[in-house]
């Protein structure tokens, strides 16, 4: 019983660590789309898209639009 419990704690700790690492990278931005839209508007203000895009590459679009 002790050996099984130890394995469960190790596996559970690994799963918890992976989930904790993915939360700020994936789940937080997914849950706060409007906040990220506003940040991108401020970051992209004053940038002429045609000046920074290489020739033949599609102009930026809103990555949050469906």
pLDDT tens, position by position, 38-66: 998 898 888 887 777 777 777 777 777 76
**Look-up of token digits 């596996």:** 11
Whether 58 is in a domain gets the answer no
Q: Which domain holds residue 23?
A: 2-52
Whether 65 is in a domain gets the answer no
Q: For residues 17 and 13, what is the distance between their CA atoms, to the nearest angstrom?
A: 6
Whether 20 is in a domain gets the answer yes
Contact 7, 15 (CB under 8 A): no
pLDDT tens, position by position, 5-14:
999 999 999 9
Whether 32 is in a domain gets the answer yes
Q: For residues 20 and 28, what is the distance between their CA atoms, to the nearest angstrom?
A: 11
Number of domains in the chain: 1
């Amino acid at each position: 019983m002790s050996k099984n419990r130890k394995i469960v704690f190790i596996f559970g700790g690994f799963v918890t660590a992976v989930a904790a690492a993915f939360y700020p990278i994936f789940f937080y931005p997914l849950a706060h789309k409007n906040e990220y839209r506003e940040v991108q508007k401020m970051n992209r203000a004053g940038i002429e898209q045609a000046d920074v895009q290489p020739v033949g590459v599609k102009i930026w679009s809103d990555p949050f639009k469906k």
